[in-house]
Each structure stands twice: as C-alpha cells, then as structure tokens.
Structure 1
Amino acid sequence: MLNSLYFFFELFAFICCLYAYKKLDRNFKIFLPFLAFIVIFEFANMYDWLMWRHTNAWCYNFEGIIELTIYGWFMASLDKRRSYRKKVYMAIVAGIAITLIDIFLIQGFWTLATISIVVQNTILATLVCIYYYNLVNNSDEYLDLLSYPPFYTTIGLLFYTLTNFFYYAFFSYMLYVKNYHFYMVAKVICDIGCVFIYSLLAVSFLCFSRTKKLSLF
C-alpha cells in the first residue's frame, strides 16, 4: 500500500519539477532527470520487472549509488567554497567505493547492501547538518526559510536519510533475532521518509519562482 503511495509522491515531485523547470536555479535542474529515473525505476519495481534470480536487491544497490551522487552533488552546490566542495566530492567518491566493495566483496551482488546504505545515509545526513550549521552562522541577511527552496529540500533529505539510517542500521540484527514487530514499525517509518522527501521536493519546486535568490558564503 505504502509502496504505491510514495510512488505517487515521486510522480507528483517529477511533475512539479517539470512545471517549474525554467524557473529553477541551475543546481536544482539536476532533479528533473533524477526524478524521471526514480519514477521509471519504482514503476518497474512495482510490477517486478527488475526481478533477477528472484531478487531486485541488486538494482536497489545501484540506485543507492545514484542517490548518493545526486544528493551529494546538490549539497556541494549549495556552498560556494571550492575547497569545501572538493571535500564533499571526496566523501561521495569514498561512499561509492565503499558501496562497490560491499556489493562485490562483502554482502554480495544479489543481497541488499545494508552496510553501504548506512554509510551513504550517514554521509548525506552529515552534509545536511554541516549545511545548516553554515547557514545559521554565515548568512548575513534575513532569510525567510518558509520561502527558501533549499530549506525544504534539505529538511526532506535529512528526514529521509535519518529514517533510512535507523531502518537499515538495525535491519539485519532485528531479522536475526526475529523481532518482526520492529520490522513492521521501522518499515512504515522508512516509507514515510520517502513520502516526506518527495513531497518537500515538490514544495521546493513550486515555491521557487517566488523566492529571492540568496548566495551563501
């Protein structure tokens, strides 16, 4: 049920991005091809078109790499300091390297790479927290957060990464001890995180045209 629900939120975010595309800042325009991919990817998985050897874990592993790359690049683009952006890119490359090692050498190609998912979400959550720290300490003019698109995108990303971290950090252990009550509750929380990020992405696209551009740092 929730799988179908958050698919419609992904589709809604894509439609909003398409509608507001010409008014978006350049760093937001990367979300159009990304959301197009997500919509196609989730639609295919709803009908098990990506099942291979009775599992679709392999494609979610590679989707995680794409999410880390897109969201990581976006977080880097919000900061004008070249030295900081280079550090973010290094963190993204490190996350991708860890993911590939996990997929091919540790947990296996056909198994959901939960170790790398935890690493990816840790990196993205850390980048969001650093962004908020810099936003609070370096913004030299009044900032109306309720009309500021990056606020909606980053708060959605933070909630999404924290719920994913919580779910996958304890996923294997709770299945091992057969705590299925935890699994059901955590899965709902994780799915709500998906709804949260795509609904806030849609809000950020829709409010973009009314937002005064603000350069930080």
Structure 2
Amino acid sequence: MREPSTGDQPGSDDMPRLSWSRHGAVHILQVHGDITAASAVDVHDALLTFDPPPGAMALVVDLSTVDTLAVAGVDAMRTDNASLSLHLVATGSVLRSLLLAGLSETTAVHESLDAAVEGIEGIDEATLLREQLHQREQQIASQPVIEQAKGMLMQDFKLDEAEAFDLLTTLSQDTNSKVRDVAAKVVDELTGTASAETAHATLDTLRELRDHLRQG
C-alpha cells in the first residue's frame, strides 16, 4: 500500500468525493457529500489502505461538509489500521452520531479542522505513541462485545449484519447510551445473565425494533 497522492478522487451521484491533502506531518482526508450505507465501504477502504510515510503524525478525516452519515458510515470510522493516529472533524448531526456511537472514546473528535491540526501538531512524539496505543487498546476492548451482540442478533432474530448494527445504534440513540454499553446489555440478556423478566422485556423491544427497521 502507498500514500495516496494529494488531490481529489472523483465521486459519483451515489458516492462521496474524497480529497487528500496534508498540513506538514498531518495528512487530511476530506469527504465531500453524504456517506450512505453503499458508499461507507469506500471511506473505510481509504482509511485501511492509508500507509503513512515516515514522519507522518496523524490522519484527519474531515466530515465537516457531510450532512448525512448512515449507520454504516459511523462503523466505517472504526479502523483496524494501527499504523495511524486517527482524528475526526464533524459538526451538527454527524458529530452527534459519532458521539452517540462512542467514537470519542477511541478516536479524537474535533469540531473544526484548524483545531484538529493545531492539537496534533502540539503533541510530541512520545505522547503520540501513547495515544496510538490507548486508541488500539480501546478498540480491542470494545469491539468484541459489539461483534458478539451483532452475531447474537443475526442468529436469534434472522437479521443481516447491517440490520443488526442498525438495531444496536437505534437502541443507543433511544436510550442515550453508547453502542458498546447497549451491546453488552444485549449480550447479557440474550445469554441468560439478566433476570427472566428483564430478558423478556428486552426481547419484546428487540422484536419491535426489528419489525420497524424492516418496514422502514
């Protein structure tokens, strides 16, 4: 894999346009246009295949011009590329979606590109390495329970992967809770750890949400 060249990668009617630039040792991926379920994979692939050159400090994904961020788009911001320190820039409903999904626990989220760049350039190398390690530890700690919950929902409620994650995100938004906490609760209640009364109530809620998602 190589570092993408500076400039635009043209989008289409259904795909956002990706624009690469850099500010010193900070590399910037600007996303222009809405991130739908179909186009989220393009953004995720761009993050996974980014190979930072020597001296690169971080990658900033600028979502400040994105008005709509699908659930799959939120998931696309979770990257297993441990070679970079990832920072996100977002405002409005996109920012709220990222915060509700718990992205701020594993990834630095800023409300402006200038703030992101200034913050990164103020970090010395040792601090940056500690930040990268912490992000990776948080990703490892939180991802298994989300994947486990998705797997249980797929098996028990005959959902596909996208529907299972949509359901977790809907519960997260409805309860103002982090997706990770919702996933842990779902796992507890579907494995019999919770009381029978609580488990039955949860199952009823999950079935209603499943039906609502499929009707929508």
TM over 0.5: no
TM-score where L is the length of structure 1: 0.29
Greater percentage in strand? 2
TM-score where L is the length of structure 2: 0.29
Pick 1 or 2: higher relative contact order, CA cutoff 8 A, min separation 6: 1
